[in-house]
A and B are shown apart, each in its own frame.
Chain A
Amino acid sequence: MLDPTAASPPEPEREPDPQPPAASDDALIEADLLVEDVSIDGMCGVY
């Protein structure tokens, strides 16, 4: 028996969309989290 989903084309790969966890502005202000720094040094091997 044929599986109808087997012929479906694979989902195209998408560029990862950087999304930090959602939070309200008030919560971010309260916790002083309006800015978050990240260094990408050393991540070359990931790609």
Chain B
Amino acid sequence: MATAFDPGRAWALDPQVALRSERFGALAYHFGTRRLSFLKSQKLATVVRSLADQPSGHDACLAAGVAEHEMAAYERALATLATSGMIAERPSA
């Protein structure tokens, strides 16, 4: 279920989503909604892959090397993925 994105919370790729590496970044396919999302940067693909291992969306961005001036754009990208159900909030540890 899609939820509003809060970068301070813990997120992960939805279990129904397959992520395929592409030259431009990655292609995400949601088997439940049959939606595709183009992740059009390698860094964003890295962020999304690392979400499950990081305590928050913001931490995942930092770990992937997202610079401070890029942060707002990457958080908006994650918000788009949350709205489409590609990523889902997970319980904090």
Within 8 A of B (CB), among A17-31: 17-20, 22-23, 25, 28-30
Q: Hey, what's the 0/1 contact readout for A2-35 against B, CB within 8 Å counting as 1? A: 0000000000000001111011010011101111
Q: Chain B: interface residue count, which band?
A: 20 to 34
Q: Which of B52-86 contact A (CB under 8 A)?
A: 70, 73-74, 76-77, 80-81, 84
Return chain A residues, CB-CB under 8 Å to B80. 35, 37
Per the bound structure, the CA–CA distance linking A28 and B35 in Å amounts to 21
Q: Which of A18, A34, A37 has the most CB of B within 10 A?
A: A34
The size bracket of the interface on A is 20 to 34
Task: Tell me what chain A mostly uses at the interface: helix, strand, loop, or mixed.
Answer: loop
A36 contacts across to B, CB distance below 8 A: 37-38, 40
A37 lies within 8 A of B22 (CB): no
A46 within 8 A of B: no
State how many angstroms separate the Cβ of A22 from the closest Cβ of chain B: 7
In the A-B complex, the 5 residue pairs with the closest CB atoms: A34-B77, A29-B73, A36-B38, A38-B36, A35-B80
